[in-house]
Amino acid sequence: MAPEPPLLTMSGITKSFPGVRALDGVDLDVQAGEVHCLLGQNGAGKSTLIKVLAGAHQPDDGVISWRGEPVTLRSPIAAMRLGIATIYQELDLVEHLSVAENVHLGHEPTTAGFVVRRRSARASTAQLLKRLGHAEIEPGRLVGELSAAQQQIVSMARALSHDVRLIVMDEPSAALDPDEVDNLFRIVGDLTADGVAVVYISHRLEEIRRIGDRVTVLKDGRAVAGGLPAKTTPTSEVVALMTGRNVEYVFPDRPTAAPEGTPVLEVRGLAREGEFEPLDLTVHPGEIVGLAGLVGSGRSEILETIYGARKPSAGQVSVDGRPLKTGSVRAAVRAGLGLAPEERKAQALLMLESVTRNVSVSSMSRFSRGGWLDRGAERGAARAATRELSLRPDNPSVPVRTLSGGNQQKAVLARWLLRGCRVLLLDEPTRGVDVGARAELYAVIRRLADEGLAVLLVSSEVPEVLGLADRVLVLREGRVVHTAPARELDEHRVLDLVMEGSPAS
């Protein structure tokens, strides 16, 4: 390679959020014209890294150099001016505007500074779409009418409408059919032939082998390997890099005897079209069942459907043998289900309220007569529930927003403990929880199970599912591909299953 400096060098990038160190001294260098793949499990820091690169996050520490010159990416516009474009997984298009309007959003060709030259915008859009092999997309159509794959093409056209030198693609193939993926790869090939660099994020190893030049592996906020050859590094080495943890989680002991008797939660043929295929599962009192899978495998959708927050297209959920009214959260709660959702702040907590009120919200009828609240009883019960989970600080009158992530999660668990729920559905229970606080949360969950609760756990962190659950269902693209007791599985095997869909040798 020519002795000129790399297109992009990031060195020692560090970024912390309250309670979490998302990036811890990450290095990354990207050459012009290469496809550089980023690999890592969920929570490894990939999203944070590309947001730093896109100018959406400011790093706490570290240096970014562009063509050998140190730069500061103060804002997404600053990054765009340098020639860095990012195509996010969740496309950032305006559905009610046309394709051409979206492509030129923010830099419309104008006459006299403000009159948009619509014809010229459409012509240049048509040209870009043709270059991307999708001349059939009409520049005048509304983006909301296009398929997901077409919207992605529009997003790419928007990136190319700038003088782009580096494109970041965050799991671009996740929403695509196989032949659309082929077209995507052809586009990536054309771009790199023109000297454009691509940072490509994917969970699918086979894609990385097909188009990648080099691979950087992230784990727990660090780059554990930089610039490995993408085509020749053995799969086992890549998986080992992704999984070998520095932080050893301490998981509580499992009960020795397998649960017996009748299951408290029984799911039969539950399905939602386009999200997950018919699913059967049972959870006994005292048992923790884990669902392992990647983003998009249908994990959260399954939990929310069991809980009644989404209406199933088929199937039945029963508690103690009694079928639940489908699609009704209230029926589920009354039958003894409780959900600790993935997005704690958006879906579970009343952020303006005290811990007490957050804990008591599902059990208010217990502290009221004819709608009149007995606030003393409420406070006492909330205090007892939060003490049982050792929630800190030991003062339930403080606003819930002042708690750490782990203690906010305990407040959600205390809500269901107080309600006297029998089946706990946990969606990513340690998301946003400090590494140090996780072990304590694991111990709490196991203790609740030992006291007779049935727990259904969803996590994208494979070690968490394997360490905590008694039995594991492995999901891939809305389908259960494997079921086994947790002790018969290891992380390698599960990762192979969720990424490749078939057990590795």
Partner 1 sequence: MTQHASPPRDDTGKVPSAGQPPVWRGLFAHADVRTLSLLGVLAALILVGGITKPDEFLDTRNLQLVLTQASVIGVVTVGMTFVIMSGGIDLSVGAIVALASVWATTVATQEYGFGGILLTAVLVGLGCGLVNGLLIAYGGMVPFIATLAMLASARGLALQITDGKTQIVTVDSVLDLGLRDAYVLGIPPLVMVFAVVTVIGWLVLNRTTFGRRTVAVGGNAEAARLAGIDVRRQRLYLYLLSGLCCGIAAFLLIILSGSGQNTNGNLYELDAIAAAIIGGTLLSGGRGTITGSVLGVLIFTTITNIFALNNLQSDVQQIAKGAIIVAAVLVQRRTASTT
Point out which residues bind partner 1 (CB under 8 A).
307, 309, 329-330, 333-334, 339, 341, 346-354, 356-357, 361-362, 364-365, 368, 371-373, 375-376, 379-380, 383, 395, 397-399, 402, 415, 419
Nearest CB to partner 1, comparing residues 333 and 444: 333
Nearest CB to partner 1, comparing residues 329 and 481: 329
Strand 166-170 with 84-87, pairing = parallel
Nearest CB to partner 1, comparing residues 67 and 366: 366
Cα distances (Å, whole numbers) of residue 416 to 302, 363, 385, 386, 468: 20, 9, 9, 11, 20
Cα distances (Å, whole numbers) of residue 237 to 39, 210, 217: 12, 17, 11
Q: Minimal distance in Å, beta carbon 319 to partner 1?
A: 14
Q: Minimal distance in Å, beta carbon 418 to partner 1?
A: 11
The secondary structure of 229-247 as a DSSP string is: ETTTS-HHHHHHHHH--SS
For residue 56, give the 3-state DSSP assignment: coil
Nearest CB to partner 1, comparing residues 341 and 467: 341
Separation between Cα atoms, residue 8 and residue 2, nearest integer Å: 15
Nearest CB to partner 1, comparing residues 79 and 319: 319
**Residues 218, 219, 225, 229: what is their CA dihedral angle, to the nearest 10 degrees?**
-50
Q: Minimal distance in Å, beta carbon 393 to partner 1?
A: 9
The DSSP bridge partners found for residue 314 are 271
Nearest CB to partner 1, comparing residues 86 and 356: 356
The secondary structure of 143-197 as a DSSP string is: GGGS-HHHHHHHHHHHHHHS--SEEEEESTTTT--HHHHHHHHHHHHHHHHTT-E
For residue 408, give the 3-state DSSP assignment: helix
The encoded tokens of residue 9 equal: 């060098």
Q: Minimal distance in Å, beta carbon 359 to partner 1?
A: 10
Q: Around Cβ 105, how many Cβ atoms within 10 Å?
A: 14
Nearest CB to partner 1, comparing residues 33 and 380: 380
Angle between helices 375-388 and 405-419 (to 10 degrees): 120
Task: Kindly state the DSSP code that residue 70 receives in the 8-state scheme.
Answer: E
Separation between Cα atoms, residue 155 and residue 105, nearest integer Å: 11
The encoded tokens of residue 335 equal: 């039958």
Separation between Cα atoms, residue 318 and residue 125, nearest integer Å: 53
Nearest CB to partner 1, comparing residues 411 and 466: 411
The secondary structure of 442-475 as a DSSP string is: HHHHHHHHHTT-EEEEEES-HHHHHHH-SEEEEE
* Phi, psi of 458, deg, nearest 5: -115, 135
Nearest CB to partner 1, comparing residues 205 and 457: 457
Nearest CB to partner 1, comparing residues 74 and 334: 334
Q: Minimal distance in Å, beta carbon 457 to partner 1?
A: 17
